[in-house]
Amino acid sequence: MSITVVGSIAFDAVSTPSGERERMLGGSAVHFALAASFFDEVSVVGPVGEDFGDQELAVLQRRGILTQDIERIAGGRTFFWKGVYGADLNQRETLETQLNVFERFEPKLSQRSREAEFLFLANIQPDLQRQVRADCRAARFVALDSMNLWIEIARESLIAAISEVDCVILNDAELRQLTEEPNLVRAARRIRGWGPQAVVAKRGEYGAALLTDGGFFALPAFPLEQVTDPTGAGDCFAGGFVGYIAAQAREGAEIDHGLLSEAMAYGTALASFNVEEFGTERVARLTAEEIAERVGALAAITQLRERPVSLRG
Amino acid sequence: MSITVVGSIAFDAVSTPSGERERMLGGSAVHFALAASFFDEVSVVGPVGEDFGDQELAVLQRRGILTQDIERIAGGRTFFWKGVYGADLNQRETLETQLNVFERFEPKLSQRSREAEFLFLANIQPDLQRQVRADCRAARFVALDSMNLWIEIARESLIAAISEVDCVILNDAELRQLTEEPNLVRAARRIRGWGPQAVVAKRGEYGAALLTDGGFFALPAFPLEQVTDPTGAGDCFAGGFVGYIAAQAREGAEIDHGLLSEAMAYGTALASFNVEEFGTERVARLTAEEIAERVGALAAITQLRERPVSLRG
């Protein structure tokens, strides 16, 4: 088993109440790959420019991530995003987006990337997602992220892409916008009607919810006293989530509601580490022991102890 | 043991995407009392006008709630609130508030109400909350709710009131506003520094979080396909929460982080029933069996199953 991710590889400029970074490694594929690398071999598909150096590649390679499908475009510049977060970190404003090499990106997958059994289609143009999906014929489990932009300008393509995957991972405002259904349970059912067996609603500081035909499961975000930079948290969630599924499927586990629920804990844990520091800083030096410890702590703070109580009818 | 609640007794006019009601029984003390009545004897303290009839009293009395401290003001009219909810029910707008008999409310507690060991100070002017708190010398556990209005116009009184209770139950925007601290963990610690051992952050459709010196605990809201009217959900949460604590304390349980965590499940369950129908309609005919069943379902959808996984360091 192995995992392929297609998405952005970026330089991010970020300002948060904790400080700022002018130019740090980022992008959905990078965040996903670092998180998923704790569970399985990951191959990254995406373009970079000539400004993307060995130093950036080394961050991925040190985690054993396969980088041969990172295409360096001659004369190009790497995707650049600049944003600023508000005081409570729930709001962010995009100040600048330079698509650069992403403007004409055509995913080219090596044999190795095409043979992956797990695939994450990070937030890119939905027709590109469909193309990569079609290339990965061996994929047993495909998850997809998207954003409000594609819901607004490429809705039909996005729905077509969604109909070809197993799991949709969106934030809950996007789920509502996409389905035009304010109730989350009904919104998720509508999406499952298009094809996917599972819908994950990302809820920022409130955590995440999973909705499948097998039921509902939810976890709060791991409580942190210091959130430094939320950039990439959703992709780290996806990396922990898909990574865990891949790791357990490798051992013969069935991909059902129970397994996806367990995977939510690993997604939550990876996302919580990611936001502790800027960009990829924290996850890049994370250890397996720290992940296991945080999942245990998450279990402890969500475990509902039941004790008999006498109720007055 | 028994429970006293002081708060509003109201007629509400509500419009939601599911429909509307022109004049229905409501008010924080009413919602709290109905929810708490499944756990212990509850006495309601609050004023009503001459327009408040036996029919309304009977809704409380049918649940065994003590109504002798519901003071009927001669020539007065009952508190009236009119509001409209947006499509996703997270936003509501107050269209009209008639304080009426609340304008000159001075709580008068009978011996029975004063002797309660559990006290809920629902959202009323903080100096009145302090007065009731002082009257209830036998109270072992006092919880307090408030709102943005008092944070804005009576902040010092509110902080004084908070310093005299065991538990603060506020929505998370109010916690942030009150403490001027965007991080929930730090906001709760600041409030605990004023005196209370526990802080509950109500998060609407995302559920609720508990923060004590003993740790953090969170539950999602119970997922519902149809939310009809959120009015009173927070007070029903408080009723289930305080009620459960009272019921277990009656059996000798210690009031610690573990007990409060369990109580969160009962708060969540009662709130979830409340929103299924307008006003008090659903909780007024709820059964103990339905509560037990929902708490069991809530446990099932939040229980994190742990399975060994091999991580790549």
Q: Which of residues 87-106 of A touch B (CB under 8 A)?
A: 87-89
Q: What is the pLDDT of residues B139-165, one digit of tens each?
A: 999 999 999 999 999 999 999 999 999
User: What is d(CA A125, CA A149) in angstroms, rounded to the nearest whole number?
Assistant: 9
Q: Does B224 contact A at CB distance below 8 Å?
A: yes
Number of A/B CB contacts below 8 angstroms equals 156
Mutation site for A-interface testing, chosen from B175, B206, B272 by largest number of A Cβ within 10 Å: B206
E-state strands within A61-194: 70-72, 79-85, 92-98, 118-121, 141-144, 167-171
Name the 3-class secondary structure at B40: coil
Determine the angle formed by the axes of helices A28-36 and A257-274, rounding to 10 degrees.
110
pTM, to two decimals: 0.96
User: What is d(CA B119, CA B179) in angstroms, rounded to the nearest whole number?
Assistant: 24
pLDDT less than 50: residues of chain A? none
Q: Does B208 contact A at CB distance below 8 Å?
A: no
What distance in Å separates residue B240's CA from the closest CA in chain A? Answer: 11
Q: Does B39 contact A at CB distance below 8 Å?
A: yes
Q: What is the pLDDT of residues B198-253, one digit of tens each?
A: 999 999 999 999 999 999 999 999 999 999 999 999 999 999 999 999 999 999 99
What number of other Cβ atoms are within 10 A of residue B18's Cβ? 14
Q: Does A273 contact B at CB distance below 8 Å?
A: no
Percentage of residues of chain B with pLDDT beyond 90? 97
Q: What is the mean pLDDT of residues B102-131?
A: 97
**pLDDT score recorded for residue B1:** 66
Cβ separation of A304 and B265 shorter than 8 Å?
yes
Q: Does B270 contact A at CB distance below 8 Å?
A: no
CA B214 to chain centre: 22
Phi/psi of residue A173, nearest 5 degrees? -65, -40
Nearest-by-Cβ selection for B304 from A37, A39, A299: A299
Cβ separation of A248 and B176 shorter than 8 Å?
no
Contact between B43 and B114 (Cβ < 8 Å) = no
Query: Which residues contact residue B245 at a Cβ distance below 8 angstroms, ignoring those fewer than 6 apart?
Result: B118, B141, B255, B259, B260, B263
**pLDDT score recorded for residue A1:** 66
**pLDDT score recorded for residue B308:** 93
Pairing of strands B208-212, B198-202: antiparallel
Q: Does B192 contact A at CB distance below 8 Å?
A: no
Residue A17 token pair: 């109440």
Reported residue count of chain B is 313
Q: Which chain B residues are closer than 8 Å to A292 by Cβ?
A: 311
